[in-house]
């Protein structure tokens, strides 16, 4: 989190909303998460700024930060990042 989310927020300069972070196995199953999702380890977050334009800026920032997965979800409605 200190290596990804905080630097991303600082560089972006506006609030980032975390729609999903850690998921217990039961919740992960309900939302259709991958069986080996990083969310189960508390090492993933689904992020949005509230606008696709700012999500694009956030995505470009996240590309420069350490991550295992970076996914532009549903046409930019949110971004999945795992570290
Ligand atoms: Zn996710």
Total domain count, the chain: 1
CATH of the domain at 41: 3.30.1380.10
Determine whether 80 is exposed, middle or buried from the number of CB atoms within 10 Å of its CB (0-12, 13-18, 19+): buried
Separation of 19 CA from ligand 1 center, angstroms?
9
| Range(s) of the domain holding residue 64 | 5-82
Q: What is the pLDDT of residue 61?
A: 98
Position 1 pLDDT exceeds 80: no
pLDDT at 2: 85
Q: What is the pLDDT of residues 24-73, one digit of tens each?
A: 999 999 999 999 999 999 999 999 999 999 999 999 999 999 999 999 99
| pLDDT reading at 10 higher than 80 | yes
| CA atoms within a 13 Å half-sphere pointing along the CA-CB vector of 32 | 0
In 3-state terms the chain splits into helix, strand, coil percentages (rounded to 5) of: 40, 25, 40
**45 CA to centre of ligand 1 in angstroms:** 5
């Amino acid at each position: 989190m200190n290596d990804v989310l905080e630097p991303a927020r600082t560089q972006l300069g506006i609030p980032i909303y975390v729609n999903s972070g850690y998921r217990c196995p039961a919740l992960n199953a309900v939302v259709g998460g991958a069986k080996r999702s990083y969310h189960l380890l508390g090492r993933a977050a689904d992020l949005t700024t509230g606008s696709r334009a700012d999500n694009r800026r956030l995505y470009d920032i996240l590309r420069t930060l350490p991550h295992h997965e970076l996914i532009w979800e549903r046409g930019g409605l949110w971004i999945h990042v795992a570290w």
